[in-house]
Structure 1
Amino acid sequence: MAGKYYEELEVGHVIHHDVRRTVTDWDNMQFSTMTMNPAAIHIDHEYCKTTEFGRPLVNSVFTLGLVVGLSVGETTLGTTVGNLGWEEVRFPKPVFAGDTIRAETEVLAKRESKSRPTQGIVTFLHRGLNQRDEVVCECKRLALMMKRPA
């Protein structure tokens, strides 16, 4: 099992995920189109030349998904029952095509489920950083996690 069971996750532990990914213009265009987001700031290069950024911004929902996705293999792969919610999602710096994103995850809190004795709730802080070590995304995620089988 690649993911960690509830008992294996310790509050305060930080995981620096090894897998990184360089974002492409195609990623941004495809994701924005697939999710029906026609905002010019994501898909119109000519328009973006007139903005303060001078080029398209990567869709923030793509960035969030990428950062969490980079964490899955070492946290919740095969051991999560489901996501319970997202809190305090922030994007302090923009992401552009060509940026390479890496992720780190901190276990902020955990508690046993009151209604599901074989599961527990873990609060993760996922942080995405670019190649300059600037934080580009941060979010808290509550996950319902399996306990180790008896």
Structure 2
Amino acid sequence: MRGLYFEEFEVGRVYKHAFRRTVTEMDNVLFTSLTMNVAPIHLDAEYARSTIHGRPLVNSLFTVALIGAFHVPELTMGTTLGNLGYEEVRFPAPVFHGDTLRGETTILDKRLSSSRTDSGIVWFEHRGYNQRDELVMTCRRAGLMSVIPDGGIPED
């Protein structure tokens, strides 16, 4: 399985990713602890009960990482050369333990690299939804993508 080469991306195309994942309390505690985010809204159930949500929130950076990973097998597996930047990250609705998330990606734009002959830049918008189809995360990013090697036909 491989992702798409630069030439294969179509501006405006929307990909609805097949992967879904239920977020667990363990996901949240491990990610939050590994990244040393000690905010009690993620780790302290008693504290979280006193907030507007009444329960712990899933760490928003975990949400970005999870939704951002759903596209990898079909869009960037083995064809990406790296991320160039993230922008406009938003969380229109909270994520809680037990929510099942899914993702979609739209190809916003692309252009050949002006400094490299082996790659181009693709702009992506990733969106995450919960089991009620509520939008929980959006982000735009730019990725450096490989062109088809030696101008040939892509291998499957």
TM-score interval, smaller chain:
over 0.9
Residue 111 in structure 1 maps to residue 115 in structure 2 = no
State TM-score, norm by structure 2.
Answer: 0.95
Unaligned runs of 5+ in 1: none
Runs of 4+ aligned structure 1 residues displaced above 2 Å come to none
State TM-score, norm by structure 1.
Answer: 0.98
Question: How many residues in Structure 1 have an aligned counterpart in Structure 2?
Answer: 150
> Aligned with 1:19: secondary structure?
strand
Q: Aligned residue for 1:20?
A: 20
What does the per-residue CA deviation read over 1:22-66, in whole Å, with 9 as the maximum and x for residues that have no partner? 000010000000000000000000111111111100000000000
Q: Aligned residue for 2:138?
A: 138
Q: Aligned residue for 1:71?
A: 71
CA RMSD in angstroms comes to 0.6
Q: Aligned residue for 1:127?
A: 127
* Inter-partner Cα distance in structure 2 for 1:120 and 1:146: 7
Q: Aligned residue for 2:80?
A: 80
* Inter-partner Cα distance in structure 2 for 1:23 and 1:128: 13
Identity of paired residues, percent?
58
What is the deviation of 1:143? 0.1
Unaligned runs of 5+ in 2: 151-156
* Inter-partner Cα distance in structure 2 for 1:2 and 1:47: 45
What is the deviation of 1:71? 1.1
**Letter aligned with residue 33 of structure 1:** S
> Aligned with 1:18: secondary structure?
strand
